[in-house]
Structure 1
Amino acid sequence: MSDTNSKKHIRILSNSPFFNGVSSESMEELYKNATEISYIKGETIFKKGSVGDSMYVIINGKVKVFEKDHVYDILSEGDCFGEYALIDNESRSASIATVEKTNVLKIERKHFLDLMSKSIAFAQSILAVMVKRHRELDTIQESLASSKQIIEVSNSKMNGLINGAMDAIIMFDDKFKIVLTNASANKILENDDPLQRNVLFFFDDESADLIENIVSNKTRDSLTNKYLPNIVKVIGSQDKETLNEGTISKSGNEQETFFTLILRNIEERLIAEDTINLLTKQTEYLEEEIKELTSSYGIIAEDELMKSAINLIHQVAKTDATVLIHGETGTGKELVARAIHKESNRNDKPLIRINCGAIPTNLIESELFGHKKGAFTGAAADRKGRFLLADKGTIFLDEIGEMPLELQPKLLRIIQEGEFDPVGSSETIKVDVRIIAATHRNLYEFSKEGKFREDLYYRLNVFPIEVPALRDRGDDICLIAQEMIQQFSKKLNKHIVTLSDSDKALLEAYNWPGNVRELQNLIERAVIVSQNGIINWQAIIPNNSDKSEIQKEACQEKILTSKEFLALEKSNILKALKKTRWKVSGKNGAAELLQIPPTTLASRIKALKIDRPL
């Protein structure tokens, strides 16, 4: 070996951690008995567990310190390994293999100990190195002890945070084996020791498939706090089911991979949301009902026929009997239903109204009984039907004669059993609903013709109430009309008109095919077009043939009071002024039209406080 290489090797020996500080003379003596060995790439120098008798110093190249698949360290030129074999006969603690072509100096124990015994200086130098390394180990141990304490405190804080969390935290490996849970997780899993169990066993099939697909997805390397796209159902060891939302994330390294699932029980929130939705829907239906009801005037009745109907309302209201209301369109059947509900023991619960003739046939079943998500095209979410909204209250089925025949068995089932199945669901829902139905048709004749189920007719017709037509209610026409005039006048900020006898005669002479609803619409129109408290009823009431004669006869028979006479005079002057465009005197003036002197007309205009509109 050349002197240049020898000096280089001695320098490398002297600079190695084990011999750092040993005299050059001692290193030259040690080098004389060292052996240079070459290894090819990937060659094992020694294995873990073998008994060592030599140490090695790397001249050039690289080696790895490893155990099975785990690499502890990579050593290169100047590093040493296996040094403890110089002073003991213990087994090697790890394996050494080359990473690339490597040359080492091998120093055997017997030569090392021989030099120790012959050279006091060498022994002192080695002892000094050992003492220094021992002190470094003490420092490292102190640091490790301090780090251990810090780690223990951190772990304690982390465990407190995890176990104190209200959300369930479940960590599992890539084999789906549970490795960590907190108290909240154990609670929903209904298991105090779920470790090493397959996490998928605690979910229903759909939820287990969802989690398995997320974990098995090829893009899972980017899995960081991914929100679960769907609500997952957890099934505990005692079969208790809970609905949860959550996130999932990935951690670990190439050797070990873990997934953390954080779940939050949302059943209370869902219940609260359902309650809010239910109340919101009830409010919407109630507002809709109020809008569609004929009016808020209540039932006005002086006629004996209507008084008889009201007496029936009082008799049946406190019971839960099913009521069938008969009457022509617009007679106020909905007002009767509302009166029954308000006087019943269910008046603190909702009154839900549905017009069976106003909803398309393909939608009425869903409207009445609700549906599950996906039950049919367009069913994007669950829907609560009106029977469920009316639970503990009353449902008013207007125009029941228009209900499709195929739905009538479901209605019969509710009346008989108090239960139904939503569209697309096998779940049976129980309800406590009082049913009031109304129709303008003869359901008995319908049932004989096969257009309505006969058994349903008899179940509905427990307590029939007949609402008389408006034309058959005598003076009630004028009473209702006057009440409506007052209501619309206040709403539209108009002068309140008082019906005269001639006005009443016109109202009572009309046949009112649309009944109270037609009267309401007519009164609203009359108030809108009224001028200064005057309504031309002849122009308002349809088909007004021969009504001028009725009014004329009424006027001929009536003796006007002074107040009525002044109102009539004022109305007559106003008509003349409007026709002449407020020209009082001169040719084609109002005075000429009224055939009175202009001075007299001017005096009457002032006395009657007639003002020309701006």
Structure 2
Amino acid sequence: MIQTPLLADNRFAEHLLQHTPVSTFVLDAQHQVMIWNKACEQLTELKAETMVGTKQHWRGFYTEPRPCLADLLLDSTLGNISDLYEQASAFSAGTDICHTENWCLMPDGRRLYLVIDAGAIRNAQGEVVAVVETQRDRTEQRLMMQSLSESEQRISTILGSAMDAIVTIGPQQTITLFNAAAARIFRCAADFAIGQPIERFVAPACYPLFKQFIAFDSTAAKNQAWVPEGLSARRADGEEFPIEATFSPLEAGGQKLCTIILRDVNDRYLAEEKLQRLQEEKGYLQEVINDDHNPGDFVSGSKEMRAVMAQVRRVARTDTPVLLLGETGTGKELLARAVHESSDRSAAILVKVNCAALPADLLESELFGHEKGAFTGAIQQRKGRFELADKGSLFLDELGELSLSAQAKLLRVLQEQEFERVGGSETLKVDVRVIAATHRNLAEEVAAGRFRADLYYRLNVFPIDVPPLRQRLVDIPLLARFFLGKYAKKFAKPLTDIDPAGLEQLRQYQWPGNVRELQNVIERAVILSSGPWLEIAPLVSPRVHASALVQPLRTLEAVEREHILRTLAATDWVISGSKGAAAILAMNPNTLRSRMQKLGIVKSHG
């Protein structure tokens, strides 16, 4: 033991300090080490023999050379306490006691976390004669606290990033944990929810069932349970919503807890509906991609079609139903697409239904969808084209083929924008603009009782008559060359133009199949042609057109002459009068006689 004059008369105190298990050293008023106890030797691995009588005590407790807490306490007794205030975490002037804790560097390079206390010793005259400093090694506890804090931080980050609500409740069934997803789903902050009874966030009607899974003394609450349906939660604003939940019992710190992981089933339903809608749209758009027709195919230079397009542009920006009237093959679908793409609905989808291509018993299901089991073969629920076209447009081609029951449902959608699926009772709301087309005379269909008058008047608000190709001869060369370019590229044929004779044949033909027939003629001609010019002549064979080109192409005058002759024969060559040939041909009798003379038509007397 190192003897010091200061404590020579109090050997018991020195003996006590030497053998205390807490690392302790004593400084005199000159900052020299008076006592360096055994615990201090063990902590610093510096022997008392080398330390007593020196001022090197600071080096064992700081990461950089500076006075220790004891030094600062000695200085503070002289009135200089600014450094002490800065270094000590707890110090009160006049008490002669201060405290701090920090990471400290040992002589051998170790870093220890020390809790340091220092106190001044005064003589009878009140003078500071020594300072005692103790250091307690709390490195292990500090590391454990850091590890625990980091673990809690990781857990907090995981819980905060979870998409599902995570709620923990204690023995009193009050909330002890409420993650960010729970705050979003229940529409309240965690601070509001924590401490509240879980019953506050459960729909009253299903709380008895809910309670079975969180009652710690019940059998159901002893094991993990997943409840996929039958439960409803309640948001902070009182709104109830269906949930699926997993209940997991656990013990922590001697307490029984229950962690509930729950999900708003409405979110899943909405996600499933959105996915299904996207899949249906994908399938429908694939059909559109595979279709030969698209808005880019609309080619015209005639004044008749310019007038039609002016009507299209005029009505497109409204939500008024559009009725396209005209013969088959005149391009009504392309006009429907033009109406849609010029409208405010162009960002949404245009859905097409060919009413003539589906059996009557399936057409309603196609339009309005059906519920599972609605009819034989309905093995699952199916959405109809009206639901698919929501916020967009629906093109009903061949409208005149709709059954009377489908017409009634269509009228309701047009008026109320609502309907039920086949076999269902739920009323569905949609926002759909209807564009219809038909080659039938709907006024005659109404008179015959095959078409509803109220639906006809509702659709006939803005009719557009699409002229047949024979009434816009200017378009024939334009369309023919357009289709030539299209199919020459498709079949890799080096065709540059149409031979003049063939082009004249195209002009003279009546085109009962309109643009669609012309397209088919050009496609076949491209396949058959071998030179740089498209050859039309081979296509005058009766084999080319099953429905139209049953004989060679003839001049317009030849066709007109034959038509007048047939009409005269049917009227027994009566020209004037209400039942005469002129009335049937919608001509003035004098005009008809003039045409007959020009065409060399005379009544045979044989």
Pick from 158, 178, 182: which aligns with 2:178? 182
Question: 1:285 maps to which residue?
Answer: 284
Question: 2:333 maps to which residue?
Answer: 334
Mapped contact 2:412–2:418 kept (Cα < 8 A): yes
Quick one: structure 1 residues 219 and 495, their matched pair in 2 at CA, closer, same or farther if it must change by over 3 Å? farther
* 1:484 shift after superposition: 0.4
**Cα distance in 2 between the residues matched to 1:198 and 1:250:** 18
Secondary structure at 2:497 match in 1:
coil
* 1:310 shift after superposition: 2.9
Q: Deviations over 1:487-538 (max 9, x none)?
A: 1112221122422332123324444333222222232222123213355534
Max Rg structure = 1
Question: 1:202 maps to which residue?
Answer: 203
Pick from 165, 168, 192: which aligns with 1:168? 165
The amino acid that maps onto 2:552 is K
Secondary structure at 2:485 match in 1:
helix
Q: Deviations over 1:5-42 (max 9, x none)?
A: xxxxxxxxxxxxxxxxxxxxxxxxxxxxxxxxxxxxxx
Question: 2:407 maps to which residue?
Answer: 408
**Cα distance in 2 between the residues matched to 1:251 and 1:172:** 10
Question: 1:440 maps to which residue?
Answer: 439
Quick one: structure 1 residues 548 and 406, their matched pair in 2 at CA, closer, same or farther if it must change by over 3 Å? closer
Q: Deviations over 1:190-233 (max 9, x none)?
A: 7847877669953876x987997999xx9979955x65555964
Quick one: structure 1 residues 330 and 161, their matched pair in 2 at CA, closer, same or farther if it must change by over 3 Å? closer
**Cα distance in 2 between the residues matched to 1:541 and 1:182:** 81
* 1:262 shift after superposition: 1.2
**Cα distance in 1 between the residues matched to 2:536 and 2:262:** 72
Mapped contact 1:246–1:261 kept (Cα < 8 A): yes
**Cα distance in 2 between the residues matched to 1:374 and 1:436:** 31
The amino acid that maps onto 1:416 is Q
Secondary structure at 1:495 match in 2:
coil
Question: 1:25 maps to which residue?
Answer: none
Secondary structure at 1:512 match in 2:
coil
**Cα distance in 1 between the residues matched to 2:526 and 2:219:** 72
The amino acid that maps onto 2:367 is L
The amino acid that maps onto 1:182 is F
Mapped contact 1:170–1:178 kept (Cα < 8 A): no
The amino acid that maps onto 2:305 is M
Mapped contact 1:492–1:528 kept (Cα < 8 A): yes
Question: 2:491 maps to which residue?
Answer: 492
Q: Deviations over 1:436-478 (max 9, x none)?
A: 1101112222222222211011000011111122233324233
1:547 aligns to 2:544 (yes or no): no
Q: Deviations over 1:565-591 (max 9, x none)?
A: xxxxxxxxxxxxxxxxxxxxxxxxxxx
1:528 aligns to 2:533 (yes or no): no
Question: 1:315 maps to which residue?
Answer: 314
* 1:324 shift after superposition: 0.5
Quick one: structure 1 residues 313 and 370, their matched pair in 2 at CA, closer, same or farther if it must change by over 3 Å? same
Mapped contact 2:541–2:551 kept (Cα < 8 A): no
**Cα distance in 2 between the residues matched to 1:187 and 1:238:** 12
TM-score, structure 2 as length reference: 0.53
Question: 1:77 maps to which residue?
Answer: none
Question: 1:512 maps to which residue?
Answer: 511
Question: 2:240 maps to which residue?
Answer: 241
* 1:161 shift after superposition: 7.8
How much is the aligned-residue C-alpha RMSD, in angstroms? 4.9
Q: Deviations over 1:113-137 (max 9, x none)?
A: xxxxxxxxxxxxxxxxxxxxxxxxx
Quick one: structure 1 residues 494 and 518, their matched pair in 2 at CA, closer, same or farther if it must change by over 3 Å? same
Quick one: structure 1 residues 171 and 545, their matched pair in 2 at CA, closer, same or farther if it must change by over 3 Å? closer
* 1:361 shift after superposition: 3.8
Question: 1:50 maps to which residue?
Answer: none
- Percent of aligned positions that are identical: 41
The amino acid that maps onto 1:446 is E
Quick one: structure 1 residues 548 and 234, their matched pair in 2 at CA, closer, same or farther if it must change by over 3 Å? closer
Secondary structure at 1:547 match in 2:
coil
Secondary structure at 2:353 match in 1:
strand
Matches within 5 A, 1:400-479: 400-423=399-422, 427-479=426-478
Quick one: structure 1 residues 520 and 187, their matched pair in 2 at CA, closer, same or farther if it must change by over 3 Å? closer
Q: Deviations over 1:344-363 (max 9, x none)?
A: 34333332222222234444
* 1:323 shift after superposition: 1.1
| The 10-residue stretch of structure 1 (381-390 or 437-446) with the greater mean CA deviation from structure 2 | 381-390
Quick one: structure 1 residues 502 and 210, their matched pair in 2 at CA, closer, same or farther if it must change by over 3 Å? farther
The amino acid that maps onto 1:488 is Y
Question: 2:100 maps to which residue?
Answer: none
**Cα distance in 1 between the residues matched to 2:232 and 2:541:** 65
**Cα distance in 2 between the residues matched to 1:379 and 1:209:** 35
Mapped contact 1:177–1:199 kept (Cα < 8 A): no
Mapped contact 1:178–1:199 kept (Cα < 8 A): no
**Cα distance in 2 between the residues matched to 1:170 and 1:376:** 45
**Cα distance in 2 between the residues matched to 1:214 and 1:357:** 60
Quick one: structure 1 residues 423 and 178, their matched pair in 2 at CA, closer, same or farther if it must change by over 3 Å? farther
**Cα distance in 2 between the residues matched to 1:527 and 1:210:** 73
Question: 2:293 maps to which residue?
Answer: 294
* 1:325 shift after superposition: 0.6
Determine which structure has the larger helix proportion and give its number: 1
Q: Deviations over 1:579-604 (max 9, x none)?
A: xxxxxxxxxxxxxxxxxxxxxxxxxx
Mapped contact 1:331–1:468 kept (Cα < 8 A): yes
**Cα distance in 2 between the residues matched to 1:271 and 1:335:** 34
The amino acid that maps onto 1:484 is F
Mapped contact 2:352–2:396 kept (Cα < 8 A): yes
**Cα distance in 1 between the residues matched to 2:527 and 2:212:** 69
The amino acid that maps onto 1:483 is F
Quick one: structure 1 residues 448 and 246, their matched pair in 2 at CA, closer, same or farther if it must change by over 3 Å? same
1:394 aligns to 2:393 (yes or no): yes
* 1:272 shift after superposition: 5.3
Matches within 5 A, 1:46-195: 157=152, 166=162, 167-170=164-167, 182=178, 188=185, 192=193
The amino acid that maps onto 1:349 is A
Mapped contact 1:538–1:547 kept (Cα < 8 A): no
Q: Deviations over 1:524-568 (max 9, x none)?
A: 2221232133555343345367638879x9xxxxxxxxxxxxxxx
Secondary structure at 2:437 match in 1:
strand
Question: 1:97 maps to which residue?
Answer: none
* 1:482 shift after superposition: 1.8
Quick one: structure 1 residues 395 and 165, their matched pair in 2 at CA, closer, same or farther if it must change by over 3 Å? closer
**Cα distance in 2 between the residues matched to 1:464 and 1:522:** 30
What stretches of structure 2 of length at least 5 have no aligned partner? Answer: 1-140, 543-548, 559-606
**Cα distance in 2 between the residues matched to 1:220 and 1:456:** 60
Quick one: structure 1 residues 290 and 196, their matched pair in 2 at CA, closer, same or farther if it must change by over 3 Å? closer
Number of residues of Structure 1 aligned to a counterpart in Structure 2: 401
Q: Deviations over 1:287-323 (max 9, x none)?
A: 4235436355433334444344333323323333221
Q: Deviations over 1:380-428 (max 9, x none)?
A: 6665443343333322111111222212233222222233344566554
**Cα distance in 2 between the residues matched to 1:393 and 1:549:** 45
**Cα distance in 2 between the residues matched to 1:395 and 1:307:** 24
**Cα distance in 2 between the residues matched to 1:506 and 1:373:** 56
Question: 1:350 maps to which residue?
Answer: 349
What stretches of structure 1 of length at least 5 have no aligned partner? Answer: 1-145, 554-614
Mapped contact 1:202–1:237 kept (Cα < 8 A): no
